[in-house]
Structure 1
Amino acid sequence: MRHKNLRFIPLVVLFATSTAVHADGVVKQLHKVNKQLSHVENTLSGTQNKYNNTTRTMKELKNGTYAEKSVERAVKKKQEKVVNNLIDSSNNVIRKATKSD
């Protein structure tokens, strides 16, 4: 009786191996789909931002505040850039001053 059951061991091993290989393929496909979904989410987010910016611009044009808001945003961006450049410069000076030869 035992010898009859031993005949099925190679089939069980083959089935287990086949299942493992198939599962690995499924996991790879899921990663691929996940990556594609992330790309779609990023695209949708960018599109939503463009829509929001367009809506805001249209509202500002309608209210007659577009020029003021545009200048306000430009000044804010310029100030942020100046501050960031100042921080970078001071970090470079500190790095050079503390650099041991």
Structure 2
Amino acid sequence: SLRGKRIQIRYNPFDLSTIQIWKDDERFDDAKPAVLHNQSHSKLPDDADHDRTPAGVSSFLEQLKKQQEEEKRKQVGTTSFARLKEKQTGGE
């Protein structure tokens, strides 16, 4: 009965359990929260199909990561614990 009419909605922003509807100082039934559902379309693929990464991209990223790790190793160099121990003991 209120469709298309100007109404006033009263509520507590910290407690949305009660939402009052008023028009011309007359209180109507409290508003009921809408029940929202995930919409899906029968012709769209399932979400599980979207989670898969194409094999080409995955292997490319793995190669890129390996290449980056090799470059870091070259920049830092390798640590020889035997040589490190020799330096600490004075070459004994």
Q: TM-score, normalised by structure 1?
A: 0.27
Structure exhibiting the larger radius of gyration computed from Cα positions: 2
More helix by share: 1
Structure with the higher fraction of residues in strand conformation: 2
